[in-house]
A and B are shown apart, each in its own frame.
Chain A
Amino acid sequence: MNKVMSNKWIIILYTFPALLLIAVLIVIPLILSGYFGLMDWDGIGAMEFIGLDNYIAALQDTKFWDSTLHSFLLALFSACSLIGYLAVALILASKIKGASLLRKIYLIPMLLSSVAIAQLWIKVYNPSNGMLNSILLGLGIDNPPAWLADPNIVLYAIFVPIIWQYAGFYILIYYAALKNIPESLIEAAKIDGATPLQIALKIKIPLIMNVFKVTIVLSIVGSLKYFDLIYVMTGGGPNGASEVMASYMYKLAFSSYNFGYGSAIGFLLLIITLIVTVIIRKLTVSKDEIQY
């Protein structure tokens, strides 16, 4: 058994395609981006090696730290919202009537591209004609906020569509995980007189803990490098109030023609994400594997 399952050649064969692709298309660009970060380069003319100046400049750049803070806030909110998605998935995976239809409906928004979602939420947030403010005015609330214009609100306003956009993704994963639990375990618990809530907390959730831990990593990493809706809906504005690391990196590299500095920020983004991931793994991964 052990001999078969540790056959070197088979391991190489099975991991080679993945490793080759990742080494060539991800690791090399990554190293290059770290290398460009050592250059004073507008992306067009000659490069000039300036050592760690870009990285030092980044550490002293308040805009970089602000955008880092914003990215971390997004990661925090995204990770917290996972609990809500798990609850929804538990309901959808239970045997209530219409669960199958509800599941399909719930996942539909996830099919839309960011372009569509951005347009929808721009209309939601429009200060004078928007859906949200129309409703608020209808409820008798005068002077509803200008969601995307107010620097104190814009960041949280833009988190809502981002978190909503990924709801389907996580619900789908949890749903599949829950459906993977052998029916016999749940039946046995029912016979013992366990309530649905007890079954969820004591049996289902522990059994999908591995999947849950993976989604924590996915949501935090995804949040830290998030770009799409921010770029389309606010462009990081007003005056940087909704800037995140990836949008700041893009702005520097592509709009400000500061490619060297942008690359350095991109590389720092990766390093930060890496450190956070290692910490999360350390905190969540336990030695004892859950077995049926």
Chain B
Amino acid sequence: MKMKKAVTFLTVLFASIFLLAACGGEDSGGNGTSSGNTKSIKFMHLWPEGSSAQHHKVVNEIITDFEAENDGITIDLEVLSNEQYKDKIKVLSTSNELPDVGMTWAAGYMEPYVNGNMFAAVDDIIESDLSDSFVPGTAEAFSIDDTAYGLPLELNISTIFYNKAIFDEYSLEEPQTIEELHEIVDTLNENGVNPIALGNRDAWTGSMWYMYLADRFAGEEDVLTQAINREVSFEDPALVQAAQEIQKLVESGSFVQGFNGLADEEAKSMFMGEQAAMYLIATWDLPNFTTNEDVPQEFRDSVGYFKFPTVDGSGDSNSYVGGPGVGLFVSENSDVKEEAKAFASYFVQQWGEKAVTEVGIIPATKVDADSLDLPQMYVDVLNDLNEATNITLYADVQMSASAAQVHLDMIQALFGGDVTPEGFAKTHEDTLSAEE
């Protein structure tokens, strides 16, 4: 009889599966284990070696230094790419398995985690180790009800980068006002040059254009932020005018063909491949225009930037769209919370200068630019930052996650001409007021 054989086989199969499962259990549970003298801190970040070699290296240096200075503490590292990181954090949080230290985005993104008591308050770190070390406004973006739950690592402002060679060819000057921008667009279009690279499939790119126009039309007040905070209506004239202006820009052929189907990456490549003259992006792309050896020197030399133009004499060109990117959080339910906090604090202290000099990004901590040897464009950006009168945090970060989704969809519809400026404002107003 083969019966016996088959039964034995199946039994062995399932027995071995469960046995393996039991064995596997021993070395799992990386969430803040403290066994004996060594404590391990689980740390997750989103800078894989392959794509963010410098970030990755600096993080590893900081970890090595921290472990050397703190006997008996090891850092248990997991690295994921951006999208996968977000998805995994989401899954981990449902099972209350967040890493001891991890990365988060500001405001709207972190709100559910804070409300669900997942993130630890880090005011104590900011007041002691890191007092006065953050650029004003950055730590606040990671605060909810005046309590900070994240330590910002990056700070970006967005400006319009342009190709000087193309501008010179058609004797164009950096525009001060939106009318001048329209003239430049017309000239470029007459000569068959794509004026502005825009990858609006990701929609946050188009959102930056809209936010800037809203800021300029509103003048002194940051009406957009006020509307998101429900201090004014989203149907405020400035917010509708900005939407109208977006459609004017689209109608005059300012943006590359098919922008609603292009990823930001494709748009960026068009700009970097000298197929478009201008590109609005945040300063995280500075290395591409300055130090990145993979980009041809000739191109890097021909990139300049200008501040977003004013509108009808309204608006302040020193007011920016931007804000902190990722920050560190400490898990509220960590078994090694004190050590995790110490690590997060140490990380931020070490990160600041290394971020500028080695990684080539602008950290959220104050940096003394004069003492460092930096490319001119960095110096200029750091100076602009010092003179900034206002930084409006990206709308999709400010809003709750579900409102942000509506906003991004509406941005695509606005750019695609599928919604009127009034309808655009109304949908926002309805969504935001429904959340109150």
Asked if A and B form a direct contact in the complex, defined as CB atoms under 8 angstroms apart, the reply is: yes
Q: Are B201 and A238 in contact (CB under 8 A)?
A: yes
Q: Are B416 and A149 in contact (CB under 8 A)?
A: yes
Chain A residue, CB-CB nearest to B96: A44
A147: which B residues are within 8 A, CB to CB?
Answer: 258, 261
Would you give the shortest CB distance from B427 to chain A, in whole angstroms? 11
Considering only residues 117-175 of chain A, those with a C-beta below 8 Å from chain B are 122, 125-129, 146-151, 154
Contact segment of A190-198, A250-258, A275-283: A250-258
Q: A45-B116, A256-B401, A258-B402 are in contact. Are A239 and B261 (CB under 8 A)?
A: no
Q: Are A151 and B416 in contact (CB under 8 A)?
A: yes
B263: which A residues are within 8 A, CB to CB?
Answer: 122
A238: which B residues are within 8 A, CB to CB?
Answer: 200-201, 260-261, 412-413, 416, 418
A13 contacts the other chain (CB 8 A): yes
- Complex CA–CA separation, A126 to B258 (angstroms): 8
Chain B residue, CB-CB nearest to A123: B266
Query: Within the complex, which residue of A13, A126, A255 is in contact with B7, where a contact is CB–CB below 8 Å?
Result: A13
B87 contacts the other chain (CB 8 A): yes
Q: A146-B260, A254-B86, A254-B90 are in contact. Are A151 and B405 (CB under 8 A)?
A: no
Binary contact track B392-421/A, C-beta < 8 Å → 1, others 0: 000000001110110001101100101100
Q: A17-B10, A43-B93, A44-B112 are in contact. Are A149 and B261 (CB under 8 A)?
A: yes
Q: A45-B112, A45-B116, A254-B87 are in contact. Are A151 and B418 (CB under 8 A)?
A: yes
B383: which A residues are within 8 A, CB to CB?
Answer: none
Chain B residue, CB-CB nearest to A243: B409
Q: A43-B93, A235-B201, A257-B402 are in contact. Are A146 and B410 (CB under 8 A)?
A: no
Interface centre among A42, A45, A147 (most CB of B within 10 A): A42
Q: A42-B116, A46-B116, A239-B410 are in contact. Are A255 and B258 (CB under 8 A)?
A: no
B117 contacts the other chain (CB 8 A): yes
- Complex CA–CA separation, A17 to B14 (angstroms): 9
Q: A13-B6, A128-B270 are in contact. Are A239 and B201 (CB under 8 A)?
A: no
Interface centre among B118, B409, B418, B419 (most CB of A within 10 A): B409
Q: Are A255 and B94 in contact (CB under 8 A)?
A: no
Q: Are A127 and B201 in contact (CB under 8 A)?
A: no
Chain A residue, CB-CB nearest to B194: A128
Would you give the shortest CB distance from B272 to chain A, in whole angstroms? 13
B275: which A residues are within 8 A, CB to CB?
Answer: 128-129
B203 contacts the other chain (CB 8 A): yes
A46: which B residues are within 8 A, CB to CB?
Answer: 116
B70 contacts the other chain (CB 8 A): no
A237 contacts the other chain (CB 8 A): yes
Chain A residue, CB-CB nearest to B408: A237
Chain A residue, CB-CB nearest to B270: A128
Chain B residue, CB-CB nearest to A253: B90
Considering only residues 92-130 of chain B, those with a C-beta below 8 Å from chain A are 93-94, 112-113, 115-118
Would you give the shortest CB distance from B219 to chain A, in whole angstroms? 30
Q: Are B86 and A237 in contact (CB under 8 A)?
A: no
A67 contacts the other chain (CB 8 A): no
- What's the tally of chain B residues with a CB closer than 8 Å to chain A? 45
Q: Are A148 and B6 in contact (CB under 8 A)?
A: no
Q: A239-B412, A254-B87 are in contact. Are A127 and B261 (CB under 8 A)?
A: yes
B258: which A residues are within 8 A, CB to CB?
Answer: 126-128, 146-150
Interface centre among A45, A46, A239 (most CB of B within 10 A): A239
- Complex CA–CA separation, A151 to B412 (angstroms): 10
A154: which B residues are within 8 A, CB to CB?
Answer: 261
Would you give the shortest CB distance from A228 to chain B, in whole angstroms? 13
Q: Are A234 and B201 in contact (CB under 8 A)?
A: yes
B178: which A residues are within 8 A, CB to CB?
Answer: none
B196 contacts the other chain (CB 8 A): no
B259 contacts the other chain (CB 8 A): yes
Chain A residue, CB-CB nearest to B200: A238
B328 contacts the other chain (CB 8 A): no
Q: Are A44 and B261 in contact (CB under 8 A)?
A: no
B115: which A residues are within 8 A, CB to CB?
Answer: 42, 44-45
B400: which A residues are within 8 A, CB to CB?
Answer: 257
A128: which B residues are within 8 A, CB to CB?
Answer: 194, 256-258, 270, 275
A257: which B residues are within 8 A, CB to CB?
Answer: 90, 112, 400-402
Q: A239-B412, A239-B418, A256-B405 are in contact. Are A42 and B260 (CB under 8 A)?
A: no
- Complex CA–CA separation, A44 to B97 (angstroms): 11
Chain B residue, CB-CB nearest to A125: B261
Q: Are B262 and A127 in contact (CB under 8 A)?
A: yes
Chain B residue, CB-CB nearest to A153: B261
- Complex CA–CA separation, A146 to B259 (angstroms): 8
A259 contacts the other chain (CB 8 A): yes
A17: which B residues are within 8 A, CB to CB?
Answer: 10, 13-14
Q: Are A13 and B401 in contact (CB under 8 A)?
A: no
- Complex CA–CA separation, A259 to B90 (angstroms): 10
Q: Are B113 and A44 in contact (CB under 8 A)?
A: yes
Q: Are B262 and A149 in contact (CB under 8 A)?
A: yes
Considering only residues 230-273 of chain A, those with a C-beta below 8 Å from chain B are 234-235, 237-240, 251-252, 254-259
Binary contact track A13-36/B, C-beta < 8 Å → 1, others 0: 100110000000000000000000
> What are 23 A-B pairs with beta-carbon distances under 8 A?
A13-B7, A42-B115, A44-B93, A44-B116, A45-B112, A122-B263, A126-B262, A126-B266, A128-B270, A149-B259, A149-B260, A149-B261, A149-B262, A234-B201, A235-B201, A238-B413, A238-B418, A239-B410, A239-B412, A239-B413, A256-B401, A256-B404, A257-B401
Spell out B's residues near A (CB within 8 Å): 3, 6-7, 10, 13-14, 86-87, 90, 93-94, 112-113, 115-118, 194, 200-203, 256-263, 266, 270, 275, 400-402, 404-405, 409-410, 412-413, 416, 418-419
Spell out A's residues near B (CB within 8 Å): 10, 13, 16-17, 42-46, 122, 125-129, 146-151, 154, 234-235, 237-240, 251-252, 254-259
By Cβ-Cβ distance, the 10 closest A-B pairs, closest first, are A146-B258, A148-B261, A127-B258, A45-B116, A149-B261, A44-B116, A149-B260, A256-B402, A239-B413, A149-B258
